[in-house]
Structure 1
Amino acid sequence: MSDNSISIDVVSDVVCPWCFLGEKRLRAAIAAVGDVDVTVRWRPFQLDPTIPPEGKDRKDYMRAKFGDGDRLHQIHANLTSLGAVEGISFDFDAIRVSPNTLDAHRVIRWAGTMGEAEQNRLVEELFSRYFERGENTGDAGVLIEAAKVAGMDTAVVETLLPTDADADAVRAEINTAARMGITGVPCFLLEGKYAVMGAQEPGVLADAIRQISAAKARGELEKAE
């Protein structure tokens, strides 16, 4: 990695539409700061860890959360509009299941051991499968197919998914995020300490990347520790 470099840990959940927006906007921001060497790592967060492993009916779940009024419709309309700008084709009506995302985060963790590119591909694939195709990303078959698209060794994923491998490690990471005060996602942690909250516009993220990478190059981050 060059001296003009920065690491970004993205705390997110794969069933968070704002996180999908944040992923697209982060990509645009990184493209805009081509002179900065950016390393991205995806960290787990669960919007609702109480959802059972088999998931819940999406309509019932959202009705219990937002009621029967126009609020949910307005939220979806706003997200659809924002998503179109970033190249996302949100299809909320296609989603049938609200899944528990622990297994998805386990697979994302395994992708990270393979490399940054594989993890990035997997995260985007999972977002797309859930929000654009309405697939159940809590289903083992869907996760295995997504892993294949991302370039992972599917035999390893098929072997590990039925076990509890890394479940405690994922939960520990989620608890760490909570101790850091992260209560909503996406959260972008630059150099592990400077947080940018929410699905900010690409320009905002790009400015943050430039500022922190410049401060790091000047040695100011070390002085602040």
Structure 2
Amino acid sequence: MTASVSVAIDVVSDVVCPWCFIGLKRLEKAIAAAGAVEVHVSWRPFQLDPGIPEQGLNRRDYMLGKFGSEDRIREIHARIEPLGAAEGIAFDFDAITVSPNTLDAHRLIRWAAANGEEVQGRLVRLLFSLYFEQGRNIGDHAVLIAAAREAGMDSAVVETLLPSDADTDAVRNEIATASRMGVTGVPCFLLERRYAVMGAQDTDTLADAIRQVAAAKARGELDGAQ
């Protein structure tokens, strides 16, 4: 019944959110497990901390200010690392020296969509890896331009756009729209822009949600839904 049905998933996330990286990996597995359902994924912006300055902040100082102690930070990382490892993520929190403002990264992700779903997905995966596995500063324009090139984008165009204000308001408006929709944390998976799955749910939960929405769509229950 769902063989010819497609499901659109908008993933609201921030590329400095470790749970979003885990969520990405679980979503990929869920799509593979969902059977014949054709899934189309789009990435939408969210900023965990839009107040970080454009040049970023010292990561250690930022984390201490947020969580209060080295012990607390180590405890958080120790909880996340094995969950990441189970999904094939080699978190290297010690390698991260800068907590970046992610507005420019989200602008880049938005531009990647013009190159197609595959390119946008490749860029998002690359940005997560650069930050969490390689400790790169994904607020640095040189890092973003190189990532765009590797993902298959026209890096010359990106190099021209990044210093401008292009799509800055559009990204901020998308974030505000997500907040009005009730998105207060990420990742958030919006299926057919009607059903929300909050948090880095396990693969089975995501796959089941995809199958249920596909079945409802096949029955015509989502016709006219916005």
1:1-80 equivalences under 5 Å are 3-80=4-81
Is 1:165 paired with 2:163?
no
In the alignment, residue 201 of structure 2 is paired with which amino acid? Q
Quote the Cα distance in structure 2 between the aligned partners of 1:95 and 1:55: 12
Q: Secondary structure at the match of 2:11?
A: strand
Q: Offset at 1:224?
A: 6.5
User: Which structure 2 segments of 5+ residues have no match?
Assistant: none
The residue number in structure 2 matching 1:94 is 95
Quote the Cα distance in structure 1 between the aligned partners of 2:108 and 2:95: 24
Q: Secondary structure at the match of 1:220?
A: coil
Quote the Cα distance in structure 2 between the aligned partners of 1:168 and 1:153: 22
Quote the Cα distance in structure 2 between the aligned partners of 1:43 and 1:157: 19
The residue number in structure 2 matching 1:135 is 136
Deviations 1:175-197 (Å, cap 9, x if unpaired)?
00010010100000000010000
The residue number in structure 1 matching 2:122 is 121
Q: Offset at 1:222?
A: 2.5
The residue number in structure 2 matching 1:147 is 148
Quote the Cα distance in structure 2 between the aligned partners of 1:69 and 1:130: 20
CA spacing shift, 1:170–1:224, aligned 2, 3 Å: closer
Q: Offset at 1:3?
A: 3.6
In the alignment, residue 38 of structure 2 is paired with which amino acid? D
The residue number in structure 2 matching 1:112 is 113
Quote the Cα distance in structure 1 between the aligned partners of 2:60 and 2:48: 17
- RMSD, aligned α-carbons: 1.1
In the alignment, residue 178 of structure 1 is paired with which amino acid? S
In the alignment, residue 197 of structure 1 is paired with which amino acid? M
Q: Offset at 1:69?
A: 4.9
In the alignment, residue 128 of structure 2 is paired with which amino acid? F
1:162-201 equivalences under 5 Å are 162-201=163-202
Runs of 4+ in 1 over 4 A off after TM superposition: none
Deviations 1:64-83 (Å, cap 9, x if unpaired)?
00011522211101111000
Is 1:202 paired with 2:203?
yes
In the alignment, residue 117 of structure 2 is paired with which amino acid? E
In the alignment, residue 74 of structure 1 is paired with which amino acid? E
Quote the Cα distance in structure 2 between the aligned partners of 1:214 and 1:16: 31
Quote the Cα distance in structure 2 between the aligned partners of 1:70 and 1:58: 15
Q: Offset at 1:19?
A: 0.2
Quote the Cα distance in structure 2 between the aligned partners of 1:86 and 1:186: 16
Q: Secondary structure at the match of 1:163?
A: coil
CA spacing shift, 1:117–1:155, aligned 2, 3 Å: same
Contact 2:113 2:120 in 1 (8 A): yes
Deviations 1:126-145 (Å, cap 9, x if unpaired)?
00000000000000000011
Quote the Cα distance in structure 2 between the aligned partners of 1:79 and 1:126: 18
Quote the Cα distance in structure 2 between the aligned partners of 1:99 and 1:69: 20
Q: What is the TM-score of this pair, normalised by structure 1?
A: 0.97
